[in-house]
A and B are shown apart, each in its own frame.
Chain A
């Protein structure tokens, strides 16, 4: 993304008056952009303001009147975090998201290495088949995976809920659904690494594992970060997979907790707004801190 600073730098210096005339001449453009930006900001700002307003105020006057009253409170956050267990759900979201990011990252990177730097029979056919699986709707795998988990749980421990009763199930499910895209993205990056470097390491007798660990992975940090951030936010923001694979209410991530607030209390905006902002906090922080990787990951993920 070209920054504004670069654009200014290449432009020849203009006198102040020309710039003012130019700015005014283009005022329809600026108005259009300001209106669009306003349209995009209003819904989120409305929710943010609402989350800091006392409950009676929310029901009696619009959030846009709140700036005149300045009667803000943190009570909604206190209520939703403590009385409504949003704090434990926050922890659950993290407990689900981290392994669901690192597991596919590790397994996918290994496979992507094989697809880019080891020659074996049917390599391209297998790779293309995996690419094809990228868009398979998760719905067409849910029930069989659940039954597999129950059977495996019974086989390993004697109880059907051994896997589905804890976070194992959702970690594995997210890993499975992420792998095709992860392999695709990383393989496309790995094959751009300098061939000479890897050949030289091989001549020196380095094993594939050694090459993977000490050359490919360190040189691929941008791609690994892009996938990692994309996948982390995907899982953090996910509702559907959690609805299917998290069966105990004390393991609910924040997305389920919010949907549960809705069905328990109805549309109570003092709870919903604070809850939604706690859910949004992490993605927003990631977005502003790591915008470049995030956009790259999303662009690459346009196929998922």
Chain B
């Protein structure tokens, strides 16, 4: 048994060595009715399916079912070298779902963190903090489907409908089809999702900021530090763990992003907004290629494994601390 993660509330006081095994066995019997439903669900709903998906990806499949022929890494090879919708390296800059997702991975966390930090820091200085934070946070409660519809309206290419193009019109510019152009569509969706997610980053960082002792800040202030110094040299270093936590949350979000793309562009125009999860959906359920879709799912799984490891490490170290 791993050390350090033993729950502080364990029911049995450390029994003498001879009786420990008997006590454990007794506990095991008692635990069965409590654990059995969850274990059955997790084994048949997660563990077996994940192994099954890996197996599907290396077999020739008929629809969503197993074929009989082992094809090894063919699906992966095709995915990474011959599927221009997934990864197109023919001309620079590269394109395809993987590249679009990497753009997400860079732009989305940076924007969310910046805006989340700004709103958190500014909000703590005013009396209407609660109201302001509620306004920024509300989009977190909304379905990505609704977020997609909201931003379809914002981006409408008709200057009489979409507020962005109306603003461009007032300064004399021509309306831009934000979601219809291959060079803007992906970023336009990212901005919509940033709008929806910033509230979460703000709440986490704001809670962390409040945990910083007021005395430290006052001391810095008496030493003549400016507000910027206080933020840069006192608050920001103490925010590194919460920032890491929200960064992981955002990375998971990016790897799984699907709904908002499905609603706003269905991956178009010309695949410019496809992301990995969208490729998975299309290959599996629209093209009926179970094995090929499984390979995409395995790519997602591989991308998420570092996050998984980070989380277990964090969890174990926290348990040791407490």
Q: Which residues of A contact B (CB under 8 A)?
A: 1-4, 7-8, 26, 29-30, 32-33, 36-37, 40-44, 46-47, 50, 58-64, 107-108, 110-111, 113-125, 127-128, 130-148, 172-173, 175-177, 179-180, 183, 187, 190-193, 195, 198-199, 202, 208-209, 212, 233, 236-240, 243-244, 254-255, 258-259, 262, 267, 269, 272-273, 275-277, 279-280, 283-284, 286-287, 291, 294-295, 298-299, 302-304
Give the complex CA separation of A60 and B158 in angstroms: 10
**Interface SS, A side:** helix
A63 contacts across to B, CB distance below 8 A: 153, 161, 163
A140-B53, A302-B245 in contact; A110/B45 too (CB < 8 A)?
A: no
Closest A residue by C-beta to B163: A46
Q: Does B92 contact A (CB under 8 A)?
A: no
A146 contacts across to B, CB distance below 8 A: 64
Give the complex CA separation of A209 and B32 in angstroms: 12
Stretch of B98-106, B181-189, B305-313 with 4 or more beta carbons under 8 angstroms from chain A: B305-313
Closest B residue by C-beta to A123: B1
B136 contacts across to A, CB distance below 8 A: 36-37, 40
B316 contacts across to A, CB distance below 8 A: 128
Q: Does B93 contact A (CB under 8 A)?
A: no
Give the complex CA separation of A29 and B127 in angstroms: 12
**A-B residue pairs in contact (CB < 8 Å), sample of 8:** A40-B195, A61-B160, A125-B2, A139-B256, A239-B259, A267-B156, A272-B149, A303-B249
**Interface SS, B side:** helix
Give the complex CA separation of A136 and B125 in angstroms: 39
Give the complex CA separation of A283 and B142 in angstroms: 6
Q: Are B143 and A283 in contact (CB under 8 A)?
A: yes
Q: How many interface residues does chain B have, given as a range? A: 35 or more
Q: Are B145 and A176 in contact (CB under 8 A)?
A: no
Q: Are A137 and B304 in contact (CB under 8 A)?
A: yes
A29-B126, A37-B132, A286-B141 in contact; A133/B259 too (CB < 8 A)?
A: no
Q: Could you list 14 further interchain pairs (A-B, Cβ under 8 angstroms) beyond the known A116-B9, A118-B34, A287-B138?
A: A1-B206, A1-B207, A29-B125, A61-B160, A110-B33, A110-B35, A111-B37, A119-B12, A141-B46, A255-B259, A262-B263, A299-B207, A302-B245, A303-B311
B293 → chain A, closest Cβ, in Å? 7
B168 → chain A, closest Cβ, in Å? 13
Most buried by B among A8, A117, A275, A299: A117
Q: Are B163 and A64 in contact (CB under 8 A)?
A: yes
Q: Are B308 and A132 in contact (CB under 8 A)?
A: yes
Q: Are B245 and A190 in contact (CB under 8 A)?
A: no
Q: Are A139 and B300 in contact (CB under 8 A)?
A: yes
Q: Which residues of B contact A (CB under 8 A)?
A: 1-2, 5-12, 23-25, 27-28, 30-31, 33-35, 37-39, 41-42, 44-50, 52-53, 56, 64-65, 118-119, 122-123, 125-146, 149-154, 156, 158-161, 163, 166, 195, 198, 200, 203-204, 206-207, 210, 245-246, 248-249, 252, 255-256, 258-259, 262-263, 277, 280-281, 284-285, 290, 293-294, 296-298, 300-301, 304, 307-308, 311-312, 315-316
B45 contacts across to A, CB distance below 8 A: 141, 145, 172-173, 175-177, 179
B153 → chain A, closest Cβ, in Å? 6
**In-complex Cβ contact of B297 among A107, A137, A238, A295 (8 A):** A137
A107 contacts across to B, CB distance below 8 A: 37-38, 41
B195 contacts across to A, CB distance below 8 A: 40, 43
Give the complex CA separation of A243 and B258 in angstroms: 12
Q: Are A47 and B149 in contact (CB under 8 A)?
A: yes
